[in-house]
């Protein structure tokens, strides 16, 4: 008795589908087929058209931070389930799943770092963790980032990529909007700069609180930035929105962001702004009166 086997044509078709899996990438912007290695080397920016694709937190550290490392703060803070929330799956189970898949304990990491030798209080959202949503722990860590920067006299660099407040924590997540902005005001009162880097997407409660309150708001090209998404707005107001609405270029044209900077130039841009603004903070008469000019 012989075991049934697939036809040779079926085998060939199956093998063809798997050939190149993980080896090639298709650009979302121009449709070019590129090797994954080439895209990784270019920090997920298409070398053909400049389209920016999502970049993991570890790669952001490689791109921006000296020695690709930072002294992490408050890593012990972990999310809990204050409301006993379930949407068919317990919130605690969703958190555990996100921790495994994202390789991090929460949707943000904070700490002390250096960018081209300039000391900064550094924060970066992890979008892979429940869409970078802001719950109680994320809000607390951002608050502590601002507060510690004030105490240690450090400029703040915060990379944002978020879907907004985390619905599984209800009003507790919405409270983080006021809490973080209050902490940011203490940074302002100390005369320290806050550089807000807006990645794709920056939406919801994060966009409606501290994300657009930077001394300089820097956006990546074509990033979606706004409170509600375009489809929600069109449905609500029953109007067709302008082309490019809520994208970086639209916000720059309407005065909502100060600069659009390619990811590949971001390190030099941030270092230059930190030096400029910290000179101004120190009262250096050689510094220009307006950093964003």
Task: Say which residue the tokens 């940074």 belong to.
Answer: 187
Tens of pLDDT, residues 79-106:
999 999 999 999 999 999 999 999 999 9
109-118: average pLDDT:
98
Residues with Cβ within 8 Å of 123's Cβ and at least 6 positions away in sequence, in order, are: 108, 109, 110, 111, 141, 142, 145, 156, 157, 158, 159
Residues with Cβ within 8 Å of 257's Cβ and at least 6 positions away in sequence, in order, are: 198, 212, 217, 218, 219, 225, 248, 251
Task: Say which residue the tokens 């063809």 belong to.
Answer: 16
Domain range annotation of the chain: 55-277
> What is the rounded radius of gyration, in angstroms, for the C-alpha atoms of the chain?
22
Check pLDDT > 50 for residue 289: no
29-35: average pLDDT:
96
DSSP state of 132: G
Check pLDDT > 80 for residue 269: yes
Percent of the chain with pLDDT over 70: 89
Q: What was the pLDDT predicted at 8? A: 53
Q: What was the pLDDT predicted at 91? A: 97
18-29: average pLDDT:
80
147-166: average pLDDT:
97
Question: How far is Cα 148 from Cα 186, in angstroms, rounded to an integer?
Answer: 10
DSSP state of 90: B
Tell me the whole-structure pTM to 2 decimals: 0.87
DSSP state of 50: -
CATH number belonging to domain 55-277: 3.90.226.10
Q: What was the pLDDT predicted at 73? A: 98
| Nearest Cα to Cα of residue 138 among 166, 110, 107 | 107
| Nearest Cα to Cα of residue 165 among 156, 157, 178, 174 | 174
């Amino acid at each position: 008795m012989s075991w049934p086997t697939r036809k040779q044509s079926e085998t060939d078709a199956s093998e063809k589908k798997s050939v190149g899996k993980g080896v090639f990438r298709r650009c979302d912007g121009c449709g070019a087929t590129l090797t994954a290695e080439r895209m990784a080397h270019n920090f997920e920016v298409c070398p053909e058209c400049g389209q920016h694709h999502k970049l993991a937190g570890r790669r952001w550290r490689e791109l921006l931070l000296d020695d690709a490392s930072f002294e992490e703060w408050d890593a012990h803070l972990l999310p809990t389930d204050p409301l006993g929330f379930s949407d068919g799956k317990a919130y605690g189970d969703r958190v555990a799943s996100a921790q495994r898949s994202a390789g991090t304990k929460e949707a943000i990491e904070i700490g002390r770092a250096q960018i081209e030798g300039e000391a900064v209080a550094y924060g970066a959202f992890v979008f892979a963790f429940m869409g970078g949503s802001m719950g109680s722990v994320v809000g607390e860590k951002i608050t502590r980032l601002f507060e510690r920067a004030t105490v240690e006299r450090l400029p703040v660099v915060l990379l944002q990529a978020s879907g907004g407040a985390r619905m599984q924590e209800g009003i507790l997540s919405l409270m983080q909007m006021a809490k973080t902005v209050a902490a940011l005001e203490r940074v302002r009162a100390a005369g320290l700069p806050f550089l807000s880097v807006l990645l794709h997407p920056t939406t919801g409660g994060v966009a409606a609180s501290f994300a657009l309150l930077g001394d300089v708001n820097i956006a990546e090209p074509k990033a979606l930035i706004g409170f509600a998404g375009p489809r929600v707005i069109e449905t609500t107001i029953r109007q067709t929105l302008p082309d490019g609405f809520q994208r970086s270029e639209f916000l720059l044209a309407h005065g909502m962001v100060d600069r659009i900077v390619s990811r590949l130039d971001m390190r030099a841009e941030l270092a230059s702004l930190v030096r400029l603004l910290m000179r101004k903070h120190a009262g250096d008469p050689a510094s220009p009166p307006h950093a964003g000019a």
